[in-house]
Amino acid sequence: MTYDCSGTNSDAACHIRTDRRTNGGWRVAAAARVERTSRLRWMLTVALAATIAAATSAFAQYSGSHPLGDLRYVSPAEIAQLPHFCWGKLNVPGATGPEFNLPDPGDCGWAMNHYCGALVLIIRAKRASKSERQSLLGAADGDIAYTERAMKDYPRCSIRPHVEASRAELENLMVLYGYRGPRAPREAK
């Protein structure tokens, strides 16, 4: 049995030549092809596993054991529910460019950095226990009110409609879940 790699640049294109006089020579050739295919599948599996591990490590900072109000740990599932302009603040891999960042303070005010955190708190409140939910809704109310107060002098703020929709959603959740905690001070519009 010999390998014939003439006219090729790789081992994958080589063929096994067998002597017809050898009993079962064709079986040896078939076995060699199967072995090469198995090695290739194994290498692809290892490469796929490495790729998945690398992608997952980007979100390795998240752990379900952290308190729900800790915004340093945002899960991939929570990130997927956030608007794209929050992704830059959360250092999502590949999220570069102006569409992944909050507006500049000159465009919307100085407190936009609290808004994405409020959205994460709203997402978490929907899956939290009753006691945790009350705390999360109260914290989200404070952050959204802080954002609203800061952008009141910026009527053309690009995310104003989003902030207003989030306020409406938060108000509905507070009614739905029977929120009885303190309310953040809000200025009249």
Residue 48 has pLDDT above 70, yes or no: no
Q: What is the pLDDT of residue 153?
A: 92
Look up tokens 């519009």; give the residue. Answer: 189
Domains of the chain by residue range: 2-57, 76-176
The dihedral over CA atoms of 135, 138, 143, 149, expressed in degrees to the nearest 10, equals -170
Q: What is the pLDDT of residue 77?
A: 93
Q: Is the pTM of this model over 0.75?
A: no
Q: What is the DSSP string of 64-125?
A: TTS-TT-TT---HHHHHHS-GGGTTTTT-TT--SGGGSPPPHHHH-TTGGGHHHHHHHHHHH
Residue 164 has pLDDT above 90, yes or no: yes
- 89, 82 in Cβ contact below 8 A? no
Q: What is the pLDDT of residue 6?
A: 57
What pLDDT, in 10s, does the model give residues 112-153?
Answer: 889 999 999 999 999 999 889 999 999 999 999 999 999 999
Q: Which two tokens stand for residue 44?
A: 């692809």
CA 92 to chain centre: 7
- Residue among 112, 28, 116, 107 nearest 71 (CA): 116
Q: What is the pLDDT of residue 58?
A: 42
Q: What is the pLDDT of residue 141?
A: 94
What pLDDT, in 10s, does the model give residues 92-111?
Answer: 899 888 889 888 888 998 88
Q: Please give the DSSP secondary-structure letter assigned to residue 60.
A: T
Q: What phi, psi does 2 have (nearest 5°)?
A: -135, 160
Q: What is the pLDDT of residue 14?
A: 53
Residue 63, C-beta contacts closer than 8 angstroms, at least 6 positions apart: 73
Q: What is the pLDDT of residue 62?
A: 38
Q: What is the pLDDT of residue 33?
A: 64
Residue 12, C-beta contacts closer than 8 angstroms, at least 6 positions apart: 36, 40
One-letter identity of residue 99 = E
What pLDDT, in 10s, does the model give residues 50-77?
Answer: 666 554 444 443 334 445 667 788 999 9
